[in-house]
Structure formats: C-alpha cells, structure tokens
C-alpha cells in the first residue's frame, strides 16, 4: 500500500525529543525520508533507531542552528542528495527565563532571538530554492499562543514567536504566486514537553496531551490542500 508521503523528503528541526521527534516519526511512518536535526547526536540516533525499527527511513544531521554556516552546509548536502525538499518543519526553539519585561536579561534575550527568529530566517533562506523545486513544498512553523496573546512574564518568548509568525507569513505571501510552496502556523497548545515542564514545574504531566497528538495533527494538515496563512491550533 502506498503511503501518504512516499518519495517525499522532510526536514524537522529540534527533532531529538518532544514534538519534533514525534513529528519525525509520524512523517516517516507515512513514507517520508526524514532528515532530523538537533544539537545532540546521541538523542538523534535514538529517534533514528525508533524510525528504522518501525520500518521508516531517517538521516540524522547534528548541528547548532545558531551557526548559519552549518545550516548552509546542510542545505548543500540536501541539494546534492535529493535536489528538493518537500516538507520543512520549523520546531526548534528555546524558552528562556520567564521574567517581567524590565527584568529580561539582555544576553539571554539575544540568544533566544538568535535561535527562535534569526536561525529560522536562515533556514527559510537556505531551503527556499529546494522547497520551490518540490511539486508541493510545505513549510510548517510551530508557534505558541503567547505569540498572538501576550501574557505576563512571557514577553521574551512571546515576542520571538510573534516575530517567527510574521517571518513565515511574509515568506508565504512572497512565494504563493510564484511557486507551489505553502506555509502554515501550528500552535500545539498544552503538550507534554521538557519546555512546558520548565515553564510549569508544578503541573502534572498526565494532564496534558502527548507530543504524538500534535505530530498526528501536523501530518493530517500536510495531507490537505491548505492555503498559505493557514493557522492550526491543536486541541487538547
């Protein structure tokens, strides 16, 4: 039986755990060759093994997304091997310290924006040509509700997600009439991740949904003919 993403090449960032790992596994289960990135090779290897043991195919690409040269090298490698990219999932992000706006640490704020915003722009720039070479290039970016609805003490992280949403939406508008590339924003909502555990240390993890629920929602979205600018809030 032909799988939904047979012959497709997907790249998922922040894929060593949580939503990224779950999304990589879900895409691979539907036939995509998934390139998984994160900083830690050991954690990526565990995800790769899980994908392989389930009958899927993955390629690990350990890298630091704050190093633009590393992203460029990965894009070159993808070009040489596949000549296209069908699916790009921008998941990697850091939370930073939750603090009042006047108390935000400048150095940490800069690091947060480097990963959550600047690195995402570099990823889009580096893989733009490859997405355009796909007959149905899709870019999905993970956001947070605080990007659209500001919350006390979440100013730094929320600002970075608002900036990411603007970048992705602008890119989508720029390419929608020139290519088959379409972009979407996914708000995963309350999900059992290390980032959420850091933000809500007293929360019972059993009261929030598994990352696989978000991954399944992303896969379902990617099977539809959504229009650029589509926004999905995952329930649960």
β-bridge mates for residue 182, sequence order = 138
**Residue 157 a catalytic site member:** yes
Instruction: Return all residues near 181 (Cβ < 8 A) that are at least 6 apart.
Output: 131, 132, 134, 137, 138, 139, 172, 175, 228
Phi–psi pair at 48, nearest 5 degrees: -60, -45
189/117 Cα distance (integer angstroms)? 20
- 157, 160, 161, 185: which is the annotated catalytic residue? 157
DSSP β-ladder status, 182-187 and 57-62: unpaired
CB 181 within 8 A of CB 175: yes
Catalytic residues: 157
């Amino acid at each position: 039986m032909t799988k939904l993403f047979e012959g497709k090449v997907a790249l998922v960032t922040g894929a060593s755990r949580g939503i990224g790992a779950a999304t990589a596994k879900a895409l691979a289960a539907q036939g995509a060759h998934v390139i998984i990135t994160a900083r830690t090779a050991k954690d990526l290897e565990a995800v790769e093994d899980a994908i392989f043991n389930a009958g899927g195919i993955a390629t690990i690409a350990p890298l630091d997304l704050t190093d633009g040269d590393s992203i460029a090298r990965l894009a070159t490698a993808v070009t040489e091997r596949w000549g296209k990219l069908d699916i790009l999932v921008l998941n990697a992000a850091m939370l930073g310290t939750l603090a009042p706006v006047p108390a935000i640490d400048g150095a940490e704020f800069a690091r947060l924006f480097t990963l959550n915003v600047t690195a995402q722009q570099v990823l889009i720039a580096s893989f733009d040509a490859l997405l355009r070479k796909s007959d149905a290039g899709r870019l999905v970016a993970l956001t947070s509700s605080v990007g659209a609805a500001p919350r006390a003490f979440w100013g730094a992280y929320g600002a970075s997600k608002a900036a990411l949403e603007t970048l992705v939406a602008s890119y989508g508008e720029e390419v929608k009439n020139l290519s088959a590339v379409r972009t979407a924003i996914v708000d995963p909502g309350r999900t059992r991740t290390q980032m959420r555990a850091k933000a809500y240390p007293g929360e019972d993890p059993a009261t929030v949904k598994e990352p696989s629920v978000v991954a399944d929602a992303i896969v379902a979205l990617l099977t539809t003919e959504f229009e650029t600018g589509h926004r999905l809030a995952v329930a649960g």
